Amino acid sequence: MKVAVRYYSQSGKTEKIARAIAGGAGVEAMSVTQTPVLDEAVDVLFLGGAPYANIMAPQLRSYAEALNKDHVGQVVLFTTANWSRRTILALKKLLRKKGIAVAEETFFAQASQIDKRISDAKAFGRQFSERDGTQ
């Protein structure tokens, strides 16, 4: 089962969660600014970011728009925010429009609780990477 974790993070909160998810899944998290395209096919792509004045960063949107449905089994979304899950909703809509499967399960970490959610994020990453790749 091939897993990748990609994120966009301005101040490091989403990055911390991405690293924890990646740790659970046994892979390395990478910023969408480091790796502008997904260069290999994966079964599961964890993708996350945060809202800034209610919208996701353009770098994250561009990354999602450039994804190729033939290279991604399913996307699993995560976000950090003060309160809003809007990034997840917007990404879900964008990806499904492109014909990319998006898992119903998502991970949300409140911005002031990041350090308390690290072990949950790890477990979330582990859970998906342990499933078989047939779904």
Site for ligand FMN contains 54 (CB under 6 A)? yes
Site for ligand FMN contains 83 (CB under 6 A)? yes
Select from 27, 43, 51, 63 the one that contacts ligand FMN (CB under 6 A). 51
Phi then psi dihedrals of residue 119, to 5 deg? -70, -35
Rounded alpha-carbon distances, angstroms, from residue 114 to 12, 17, 61, 94: 10, 7, 23, 26
Select from 111, 120, 126, 127 the one that contacts ligand FMN (CB under 6 A). 111
Site for ligand FMN contains 22 (CB under 6 A)? no
In the complex, minimum distance from the CB of residue 113 to ligand FMN, in angstroms, rounded to a whole number: 10
Span from 27-35, 58-66, 76-84, 98-106 in contact with ligand FMN (CB under 6 A) = 76-84
Residues 76, 47: contact at Cβ < 8 Å?
Answer: yes
Name the residue type at position 67.
L
* Residue in the block written with tokens 């996701």: 56
Q: Buried (b) or exposed (e) across 77-115, using 16+ Cβ within 10 A?
A: bbbbbeeeeebbebbbebbeeeebebeeebbbbeeeebe
Site for ligand FMN contains 135 (CB under 6 A)? no
Site for ligand FMN contains 1 (CB under 6 A)? no
List interacting residues with ligand FMN (CB under 6 A). Answer: 9-15, 50-54, 80-84, 111
